[in-house]
Amino acid sequence: MNTRTRRLACLPLLLLAAAGSASAGTITCVPGPGAAAGSSSLHWVRRISIDEHSRTVLMDTVRGKTKEAETTVIKMRAELVSMEETQSGEPVYVFNSIPAAGVEMTNLFRLFKAGEWRLASAGVIFVNKMPALRSVEQSAVFDCKRSGLG
């Protein structure tokens, strides 16, 4: 088998590996048991979807109640800032919300597994282009499902 034949033979394997990595690393999380409204500080986060390949995070958040509906769900977009593995091989995701125009505060999140999946959050505002910590919320338990990991 010459070099060119070997390269052509390996091409389908490379394409399959690339297709696998494109769908690899998707994790979806919802509040875990006992996370009813008001029982955790992060009760306003209803769903998290992380795509490791595109480094994007989509979150469904609750921003308030109206007379017509119990809650108003808003889609929040975030950027996956960091993704590391712990010594046990579990990932730790760090992401920040992308603030809308006119919004002063951005939220920083850390999703990690410590026996169970936990989400921690901190609010940061910028005063004269300097970050200032505005709030820190206790971590909340989430049920997370990973898919497409080959």
Give, for all 150 residues of the chain, the pLDDT tens digit.
Answer: 444 443 334 333 333 333 333 345 789 999 987 655 445 566 788 999 999 889 999 999 887 666 666 667 788 889 999 999 888 888 899 999 876 666 678 889 999 998 899 999 999 988 888 889 988 988 899 999 988 654
pLDDT at 100: 67
Query: Does 132 fall in a domain?
Result: yes
Residue corresponding to tokens 């850390």: 110
CA triple 48-52-57, angle to 5 deg? 30
31 within a domain of the structure (yes/no)? yes
In a domain, 29, yes or no: yes
Query: What is the pLDDT at residue 7?
Result: 37
Domain annotation covers residue 7: no
Tell me the backbone φ, ψ of residue 149, rounded to 5 degrees: -95, 15
pLDDT at 80: 93
Q: Which CATH number does the domain housing residue 126 bear?
A: 2.40.128
Domain assignment of residue 129, yes or no: yes
- The secondary structure element, H or E, covering residue 142 is strand 130-147
Domain count for the chain: 1
Give the structural domain span for 109: 25-147
Tell me, yes or no, whether 9 lies in a domain: no
In three state form, how does the secondary structure of 50-115 look? EECCCCEEEEEEECCCCCCCCCCEEEEEEEEEEEEECCCCCEEEEEEECCCCCCCEEEEEEEEEEC
Q: Is residue 84 part of a domain?
A: yes
Entry pTM: 0.71
Determine the pLDDT at residue 108: 92
Say if 8 falls within a structural domain: no
Alpha-carbon distance of 79 to 66, in angstroms, equals: 29
Note whether 83 and 108 are within 8 A (CB): no
- In degrees, to the nearest 5, what angle opens at C-alpha 103 toward C-alphas 98 and 59? 40
